[in-house]
Structure 1
Amino acid sequence: MKFPSPLIPGKLIHRYKRFLADVTIAGGVVVTATCPNTGSMLGLTTPGSTVWLSESDRATRKYRHTWEMVEADLGTGPELVGINTGHPNALVAEAVGAGIMPELQGYTSLRREVRYGEASRIDLLLEGGADPRLCYVEVKNVHLMRVAGLAEFPDSKTERGVKHLRELSAMVAEGHRAVMTFLVQRGDANRFKLAGDIDPTYAMAYRAAAAAGVEMLCYRCRLSPTEIVVEKRLEIAELS
């Protein structure tokens, strides 16, 4: 996924009201940017951090800038971390189309945001091809890292995430295929695990979904101020 124009660097002043952040950009100008992330963004909101913004001149927008990435350093140098939770669905769809994710190949149709379950919408629905089953794909953005190299999810309690796992399990029970895909928007991750200490209920729901036949995938992205690309599958650590 290429950005329409290169991202703009700045320094984070603070994030507030969950969906807003004040940032100082070139010339000492302070702008208010939309923060497209409902999570805690644990470890990624330190004032003074280098952040990267996209800009839009659409007349309908209240704020011209959107916070896209932040630089984080766990001792191995600064790393770009994608915080925009609006991108993962498009990134996975793009990766499937490019053949980067072999586990999701072989289908003739890909649709996004299709209604299913308990008044929900599945992120991607794959169908057609040799497998007669529908394939329901839920995508979660991952940006939490507390130990160098180890990506984790979630960064806060997520009742919605628990609901999605239960709905995927129900699709398997109906004879379909269901895949939970964790997309790590940071290039310094080499493995992935669930943050069971942050949300034990989600960890329990994950175990139940896996036992029910929901497939679990994790992929890592490569990020730059000009593009984000899905590049590599990561191992998922077993829950202890």
Structure 2
Amino acid sequence: MQFHKPLQTAKLIQRYKRFLADVTTNSGNTFTIHCPNTGAMTGCAEPGYQVWFSESENLKRKYCYTWELARTFCDDFICVNTLRANQLAGDILSDGLIAELADLQELRAEVKYGSQGSRVDWHGLDNKRECFIEVKSVTLKDPDNSTGYFPDARSKRAGKHLQELMEVAAQGHRAVVLYVVMHTGITSVQSAAQVDPDYAQLCIEAAAKGVEFYAYKCAISPEGISPQQQIKVTT
């Protein structure tokens, strides 16, 4: 996935009110950009980080710039725009990069499913058996090693998705959680019991009931983001 237009860059002053971030350019121009990430963004939004942002062509937007990337003081790149994870997941699935999912056909995004009326991120067919895939963006990194965690804040929504995946697995369908790793310093993924113990417990239950867990690490640069390699997941 290449960015359609070259990204612009600045230094982060602060992220606040979840959806806003103040930045300053080398020339001293200070302004506010939109932050498309509802999570805690722990370790992803430190003042002084270099950030990259895209410009919207929608003239009606209040904030025309969207925060896309950050670079840590250790030179790791992070994609903070969670919408990109679904796009990358589409590339991973359509290119058959995960062997266990390589035979999926008729991939479709945002398909309604489950008893709670959710929309699954991706849906496909595996020898006429339905496969439901929930995509999660992973950016929370352990400061002492290369372990990545999900979620980075308590998430009832993520727990709801696991419950719905368990339901479809019980019906004989395939149910999958795909962690798209959007932090170049992460080399393995596990559920964040220290952040959301309820989600971590649900992961254990889901794995026991047939829900499949996979993680794929991405290469990230201001030019674009691309799938890099499959990495280990611990539920």
Sort the TM-score into its range (normalised by shorter chain). Answer: over 0.9
Distance 2:36 2:14 in 1: 15
Q: In structure 2, the residue corresponding to 1:62 is in which secondary structure?
A: coil
Instruction: Note the 1:176-187 alignment, pairs <5 A.
Output: 176-187=173-184
Aligned equivalent of 1:219: 216
Instruction: Give unmatched runs, 5+ long, in structure 1.
Output: none
Aligned equivalent of 1:110: 107
| Contact 1:10–1:52 (8 Å) recurs in 2 | yes
Could you tell me which amino acid in structure 2 is paired with residue 207 of structure 1? I
Distance 1:132 1:49 in 2: 47
More moved, 111-120 vs 18-27: 18-27
Distance 2:192 2:225 in 1: 25
Instruction: Note the 1:186-205 alignment, pairs <5 A.
Output: 186-205=183-202
Q: In structure 2, the residue corresponding to 1:164 is in which secondary structure?
A: helix
| Contact 1:143–1:185 (8 Å) recurs in 2 | yes
CA root-mean-square deviation: 1.3
More moved, 201-210 vs 99-108: 99-108
Structure 1 residue 125 corresponds to structure 2 residue 123? yes
Could you tell me which amino acid in structure 2 is paired with residue 230 of structure 1? P
Structure 1 residue 230 corresponds to structure 2 residue 221? no
Could you tell me which amino acid in structure 2 is paired with residue 145 of structure 1? K
Structure 1 residue 92 corresponds to structure 2 residue 79? no
| Contact 1:51–1:67 (8 Å) recurs in 2 | yes
Aligned equivalent of 1:56: 56
Distance 2:51 2:100 in 1: 33
| Contact 2:141–2:185 (8 Å) recurs in 1 | no
Q: In structure 2, the residue corresponding to 1:81 is in which secondary structure?
A: strand
Change (3 A) 1:42 1:206: same
Instruction: Give unmatched runs, 5+ long, in structure 2.
Output: none
Offset at residue 26 of structure 1 (A): 4.1
| Contact 1:100–1:231 (8 Å) recurs in 2 | no
- 1:136-162 Cα offsets, whole Å, 9 max, x none, are 000000000123311111111000000
Aligned equivalent of 1:27: 27
Distance 2:173 2:233 in 1: 23
Distance 1:18 1:209 in 2: 30
- 1:64-113 Cα offsets, whole Å, 9 max, x none, are 1111111124xxx3111111111111111112222322222223201100
Aligned equivalent of 1:4: 4
| Contact 2:95–2:102 (8 Å) recurs in 1 | no
Distance 1:96 1:31 in 2: 38
TM-score, with normalisation over the residues of structure 1?
A: 0.93
Q: In structure 2, the residue corresponding to 1:68 is in which secondary structure?
A: strand
Task: State the aligned residue count.
Answer: 233
Q: Which among 136, 139, 151 is matched to residue 135 of structure 2? A: 139
Sequence identity of aligned pairs in percent? 40
Offset at residue 6 of structure 1 (A): 2.1
- 1:162-214 Cα offsets, whole Å, 9 max, x none, are 00000000001111001101111022222111110111000011111111100
